[in-house]
Amino acid sequence: MSKYNYIIKPLVSIYTLVLGVIIIFKALKKDSIRQKIKRIFPLAAVGGFLDSIGGGGWGPIVSSTLIARGRNPRYTIGSVNLAEFFIALASSLTFVTLIGLTHWAIIIGLIIGGCIAAPIAAYISNKIPTKAIMLLVGIAVIILSLKRILF
């Protein structure tokens, strides 16, 4: 499927760009009534599929979609990251099984960096107001989407 990345990546980037704009609009408007989020399984399946073929990522697709649908940003980011841990674990076990443990120094660096960054991120996200988080997420999603579209 990697030969179709030139089609998939721009489509995913346009999708996340639209989601970023929706997130910013939702952050700027007054509080609305929360609705139950439906069709989680298809969203997870599409996010996992795009993550596996390299056209997008689990986090950007699933987090942005859930936040744009009105889910609380703190809850969404936490639950998506928890699920992403298991996705990364399954991917890592697959890669180690298929290609072996060749770049162990990089792996150790990623583990140490993650152990340092995770509690800091949790602390900071707990201190920032929800609307500010939504604005930051929307801006980050738009910037990353534009970067992937333009470069």
pLDDT digit string, tens, across residues 97-114: 887 778 788 878 878 888
Report the pLDDT value the prediction gives residue 18, as an integer from 0 to 100: 92
pLDDT confidence of residue 146: 94
Query: What does the pLDDT look like over 10-31, one tens digit per residue?
Result: 888 898 999 999 999 988 987 6
Low-confidence residues in the chain, pLDDT < 70: 1, 31-35, 54-56
Q: Would you state the structure tokens that stand for residue 72, as one six-digit string?
A: 């609380």
- pLDDT computed for residue 56 by the predictor: 62
- Is 87 in contact with 45 (CB distance < 8 Å)? no
Whole-angstrom Cα Rg for the chain? 17
pLDDT at 142: 94
DSSP reduced 3-state for 135? helix
Tokens 């950007």: give the residue: 60
Q: 63, 46, 87, 48: which is closest to 136 by C-alpha?
A: 63
**DSSP for residue 40:** H
Tell me, what's the pLDDT at 34? 65
